[in-house]
Chain A
Amino acid sequence: MSLLRCTAVTKRFGGLKALDGVDLEVGAGEIVGLVGPNGSGKTTLLSTIAGSLPVSGGRIEFQGRDVTRLSSHRRAHAGIARTFQIPRPLGSFDVLGNVATAAMFGRDRVSRSEAIERAHGVLKRIGLDGHAGSDVTTLTLHEHKFLEIGRALALDPRLILLDEVLGGLNPAEAAAGMELIASLRDDGRSVIYIEHNVRAVTALADRMYVLDRGRNLFDGTPTEVVGDDRVVAAYLGGGARA
């Protein structure tokens, strides 16, 4: 049985259809890559799954339960966590506080001290344990991106939605990031992974979905995706120009 099932998800912004009947399915312990040219609706789809954006139509099921109308925080409690493409740390808190807040309000309601303990564990895992007391503004881009992952991880989710967490990182940082993402699967968590760069996704993903102008263009294994003419055409017509 699949962990997440999106059926005919549609999202309109005024007259514009950002998502037009997208289907997507994620199994337990699976890394699903989501690619597509600029403006194909990847981030919008992620936001509708996370509940940050209400859908205009369609249905989203998580663990067999209809979550289409559920608010964002309830989905977080149900086990869906997300990161933001442009890192959005909580400025009032230090690095530890950012992670501990997620732990405290996450899947199971835990006490402050328990949350802090969990947060320390997460910081160690993402390699930020040296920065626990740091002001978030002192972090570098890759630390910000990892903090986004760490916050999501602190929710102890079953499904993590990653939005371009490797974008803008240097090769060494990106390699560390890919290792971290692969380790999420080893936890038994599922991942939906957006990256503009197809090559990074093919290295990690078990299966991939290609979106184009708000519609499903193709899905399959990374090898199938890379070899598909339509995908190549979509990219040549859209993102590759950039």
Chain B
Amino acid sequence: MDVSTTALAQTLLNGALLGCLYGCIALGLTIKWGHLGIADFFHISVVLLAAYITFTLVTEAGWHPFATLLVTAPACFVVGVASQWLFTRLDADDTTSLLLTFGLFIVAEGVASQLWSADLKSMRRDLPDGLREAIHLPAPLDRLAVTPPDLLSLVLAVVMVGLASWSLRFTRSGRAVQAMRQDQPIAEAFGVRAAPLALAVSGLAALSASVAGMAVAVKMPLQPQLPLHWIGVVVVACLLGGLGRPLGALVAAVVLMMLQNAWSLWFAPQWASAVTYGVLVLYLAAQPLSRVIRERLTHERPTRERPAVRSLA
């Protein structure tokens, strides 16, 4: 089968932009996973719930999609803080918190189908005109086009991931978060107040879900099972990108989606979803000693030498 350059370019472009959306969704997860030690699948559900609220506000109340953030952002922040409080309160180990997030995950799916039904919900017709018409790229690439929702994903991904990476690296709190992950007792000794910081990080991570949810609602029809379709790509992107690294997750998501879309051009499209897992397997098999994964995975206690020289005699 012969594939024209334009078709290939357009497919890759679409994949990259879809990857941006996944990068937005993965942002909160990778931060919570990497820096708070919780693989919070519920985060993905929060994205969908935020998308549904956006949908309702746009279609029923006639809001502009961007304005819905006034409602969803604070709501998601509160949810993030509350869930982190729950994890801290229960003092859950990583498997238990994984289970808890799974419990919340299926609750969220049930709530979504109960409130919005299992039917596809699209708000395409209610979008402002500016968000509907495809835009052609400038001159040399004018055979390629992007849709405004895709462009929105791109902008949001760049802004949010940029902000998150920047604050992790350059702000005082961001560095405190990193220190906390490496060695909590020492970080606390240096005046990092771990508990409130964790609540704030979790809240902010969840806040990113409201933005991601808005982008989702603008881009695609909603359905309660969507998180189940996202989970694979998002988790793999987090792992490949390095846990706790928003930019890594975004890049990984973009690459994954480009690969997946390219695959569909040449091979049976129903196998496309296996591409993600194939990449994961290859990656794990090829570099089992990858630094990022090692950091996350070695739970070996740091061997602490006893500081004081105690007299025995």
Binding site for B on A (CB under 8 A): 14, 38-39, 43-44, 85-86, 164, 166-169, 171, 174, 178, 196-197, 199-200, 239-240, 242
- 18 A-B pairs whose Cβ atoms sit less than 8 Å apart in the complex: A14-B291, A38-B305, A39-B305, A85-B304, A85-B306, A86-B301, A86-B304, A166-B312, A167-B310, A168-B306, A171-B311, A171-B313, A174-B312, A178-B312, A196-B309, A199-B311, A199-B312, A239-B309
Report yes or no: A168 in contact with B310, Cβ–Cβ below 8 A: yes
| Docked pose: A174 CA to B309 CA in angstroms | 14
Residues of B within 8 A of A44 (CB): 303
| Docked pose: A239 CA to B306 CA in angstroms | 10
Residues of A within 8 A of B309 (CB): 196-197, 239-240, 242
In the complex, which of the residues A166, A171, A196 contacts B305, with contact meaning CB atoms closer than 8 Å? A196
| Docked pose: A44 CA to B301 CA in angstroms | 13
Interface centre among B301, B308, B309, B312 (most CB of A within 10 A): B312
Binding site for A on B (CB under 8 A): 291, 301, 303-313
Residues of B within 8 A of A39 (CB): 305
In the complex, which of the residues A38, A169, A197, A199 contacts B307, with contact meaning CB atoms closer than 8 Å? A38
Question: How distant is A172 from chain B, measured CB to nearest CB, in Å?
Answer: 11
Q: Apart from A168-B306, A196-B306, A199-B311, what are 14 other A-B pairs with CB-CB below 8 Å? A: A14-B291, A38-B305, A43-B305, A85-B303, A86-B304, A168-B310, A169-B312, A178-B312, A196-B305, A196-B309, A197-B311, A199-B312, A199-B313, A242-B309
| Docked pose: A240 CA to B306 CA in angstroms | 12
Residues of A within 8 A of B291 (CB): 14
Q: Which residue of A lies closest to B306 (CB)?
A: A167
| Docked pose: A32 CA to B26 CA in angstroms | 53
Q: Which residue of B lies closest to A53 (CB)?
A: B300
Q: Which residue of A lies closest to B308 (CB)?
A: A242
| Docked pose: A197 CA to B305 CA in angstroms | 12
| Docked pose: A242 CA to B304 CA in angstroms | 13
| Docked pose: A168 CA to B312 CA in angstroms | 9
Residues of B within 8 A of A200 (CB): 312
Residues of A within 8 A of B313 (CB): 171, 199
Report yes or no: A164 in contact with B306, Cβ–Cβ below 8 A: yes
Residues of B within 8 A of A197 (CB): 309-312
Report yes or no: B307 in contact with A242, Cβ–Cβ below 8 A: yes
Residues of B within 8 A of A178 (CB): 312
Residues of A within 8 A of B311 (CB): 171, 197, 199
Q: Which residue of A lies closest to B301 (CB)?
A: A86
Interface centre among A14, A167, A168 (most CB of B within 10 A): A167
Question: How distant is A93 from chain B, measured CB to nearest CB, in Å?
Answer: 20
| Docked pose: A167 CA to B304 CA in angstroms | 12
Q: Which residue of B lies closest to A173 (CB)?
A: B312
| Docked pose: A28 CA to B233 CA in angstroms | 57
Q: Which residue of A lies closest to B305 (CB)?
A: A38
Question: How distant is B68 from chain A, measured CB to nearest CB, in Å?
Answer: 46
Residues of B within 8 A of A85 (CB): 303-304, 306
Residues of B within 8 A of A199 (CB): 311-313
Question: How distant is A197 from chain B, measured CB to nearest CB, in Å?
Answer: 6
| Docked pose: A168 CA to B306 CA in angstroms | 9
Residues of B within 8 A of A43 (CB): 303, 305
Residues of B within 8 A of A169 (CB): 312
Residues of A within 8 A of B301 (CB): 86
| Docked pose: A164 CA to B307 CA in angstroms | 12
Question: How distant is A156 from chain B, measured CB to nearest CB, in Å?
Answer: 27
Residues of B within 8 A of A239 (CB): 309
Residues of A within 8 A of B303 (CB): 43-44, 85
Residues of A within 8 A of B307 (CB): 38, 242
Residues of B within 8 A of A240 (CB): 309
Question: How distant is A212 from chain B, measured CB to nearest CB, in Å?
Answer: 14
Question: How distant is A222 from chain B, measured CB to nearest CB, in Å?
Answer: 14
